[in-house]
Amino acid sequence: MDAVVSFGTCPERYRHWRLDLEGDLAWLRLDVQEDGGLVPGYELKLNTYDLGVDIELYDATQRLRFEHPEVRVVVVTGTEGLFSAGANIHMLARSSHPWKVNFCKFTNETRCAMEDASAHSGQVYVAAVNGPAAGGGYELALACERILLVDDNSTAVSLPEAPLLGVLPGTGGLTRLVDKRHVRRDLADAFVTTPEGVRGARAVHWGLVDEVIPRHDFEKLVGERARELGAPSRRPRDAEGVALTPLEREVSPDAVVYQHVRADLDRQGRTATITVRGPEGDVPESLERIHALGAAFWPLAMTRELEDLILHLRTNEAEIGTWVVKTRGQIEGALAFERVIARHSSSDWLVNEVRHYFKRVLKRLDVTSRSLVALIEPGSCFAGALLELALACDRQYMLDGVLEDDEAGEEGEAARIVVSESNFGAFPMANGLTRLGARFFGHEEREEAARQRLNQPLSAEEALELGLVTFTPDDLDWEEEVRIALEERASLSPDALTGMEANLRFVGPETMETKIFGRLSAWQNWVFSRDNAAGPEGALRRYGTGQWPAFDRRRT
């Protein structure tokens, strides 16, 4: 599958989801159109899903957070008598390896975003499993904070991937069973090797669901349980939401351009140079003005564009293996917006959403299978929140001095970076550490030394001394060192780089999220490439044909 994928949509264009609002309660109903696959060649029967279905789900979760501040509980359910049979097997069987892996990554990010909404937005997700929930369907339910199962003596939940398909549950099912729901290990083993699944009272007893509800009272009682769960939420009941207007984007063979973000593509060098422009003009100090700006508020507008670019490049530009990250703008302007976010994020729902949104987009960078290199030059504004973009990179090159032909250099202003309070907790990684904490893991004194220079513009020499950058070439060596570094990177094995970068980016403690994106994704990536799953006689290819798969029985 080599289709060009767009991640922009809106409720009026949904084909597979219906969003119904009832005051502080929202219903997200999955009703997949069988002929609505993202690309031709398969039917989405039994509420199975592909990337197109999940793009709509992610869009809905975003709009609920920004456009519907009154919503405290979101109930995810299916059509009458059917929740979801999970990811479409025929789609997976005919997809390329990169497509399968990126599909799993995006669906994982969407489910983590649902959990993030429950944890940080006061918008709690509840699964109303009104029919069979298998594989990715049950994994969707697992991303919710409460699972309510219809009790009709037939509806079961299951994770049948291992016995039926020779693969693993691809969107965090194994990890959420034991880490989130605390299902006992032996029971989890029995569950995931039993293709028919578990239903009724046993599902409650094993911890697979929270409650079973008779079918004749199901939707009524689900609504009551949901409202009880959302009662403690601090979401405002009478606030006006912010419309997420369509992004303006120009795509050409060599560039992707937005208002605040752009990417210039060097296909021969297999690099994309991503430039984020800092804010311009006055800083909106009051909440009234921030809300009036809505989607035009610079931190929100820039974050939306950056996320769309990351998803576009990740999915549609697989051979662009290195992303060079730059910023342009005034450091003080970037810090001024950051102070506004810090001042209001604990008291205003919209500002809180913007902060957590930027956090989630940074996490997308962390798990992106691309080499990330930051270039810090005169005219850059890597300060505070924007410094996180550089800290997310695998290396940071900072010019020591100025370039003779650089516009900023004409004024004699060398590059500077600024560490702010937001670098110490506002945007945690999946492992729960700050990016500075991960950078200086085991050397807490270095992190403290950086904190001692809070809000001070740091030169290349000072940044290198503090360990905040990797290399600081002068103007004579700058272009040559950067060129050699990028060419060397492009010459290495993409597979080895993907594994190396994923190992190095997440130091220290493991969390449910790092297990999903690190441990699970790595194993799933391996399983997807094995003949036992994806070969011509593998389980994915033979599913539904009536033929048993031919397994290589050697354990590796």
14 Ramachandran zone, left/alpha/beta (phi>0; psi -120 to 50): beta
Which H or E element spans position 475? none
**Whole-angstrom Cα distance, residue 518 to residue 500?**
11
- How far, in Å, are 75, 404, 538 from residue 193 at the CA level? 29, 66, 18
CATH superfamily to which 250-505 belongs:
2-enoyl-CoA Hydratase; Chain A, domain 1 (3.90.226.10)
- Write out the two tokens for 307: 């996320």
Q: For the sheet containing 395-398, what is the strand order?
A: 250-252, 255-257, 261-266, 271-277, 322-328, 371-376, 395-398
Q: What is the DSSP letter of 519?
A: I
Q: Is 9 helix (H, G, I), strand (E, B) or coil?
A: coil
- State the pTM of this model: 0.96
Residues 6+ apart with CB under 8 A from 213: 148, 149, 150, 151, 221, 222
Using 50 as the pLDDT threshold, list the residues of the chain that sit under it. 1, 408-410
Helices (H), 95-240: 97-120, 136-142, 161-165, 173-175, 185-192, 200-206, 218-230
Q: What is the pLDDT of residues 383-428, one digit of tens each?
A: 999 999 999 999 999 999 998 766 544 456 899 999 999 999 999 9
Q: What is the pLDDT of residue 259?
A: 98
Torsion angle defined by CA atoms of residues 164, 109, 114 and 52, in that order, rounded to the nearest 10 degrees: -70
**Whole-angstrom Cα distance, residue 161 to residue 339?**
48
How do the domains of the chain map onto residue ranges?
11-230, 250-505
Q: What is the DSSP letter of 412?
A: T
Confirm if 521 and 430 have CB atoms less than 8 A apart: no
Residue 541 burial (C-beta neighbours within 10 Å; 0-12, 13-18, 19+): buried
Confirm if 160 and 195 have CB atoms less than 8 A apart: yes
- The one-letter amino acid at 465: E
Chain CA centroid to CA 47, Å: 23
Q: Is 192 helix (H, G, I), strand (E, B) or coil?
A: helix
Q: What is the pLDDT of residue 406?
A: 60
Q: What is the DSSP letter of 360?
A: H
Q: What is the pLDDT of residue 521?
A: 76
Q: What is the pLDDT of residue 2?
A: 57
Q: What is the pLDDT of residue 410?
A: 44
- The one-letter amino acid at 161: E
- The one-letter amino acid at 402: V
Instruction: Answer whether 11-230 and 250-505 agree in fold.
Output: yes
Chain CA centroid to CA 284, Å: 28
CATH superfamily to which 11-230 belongs:
2-enoyl-CoA Hydratase; Chain A, domain 1 (3.90.226.10)
Q: What is the pLDDT of residue 1?
A: 46
**Whole-angstrom Cα distance, residue 464 to residue 473?**
11
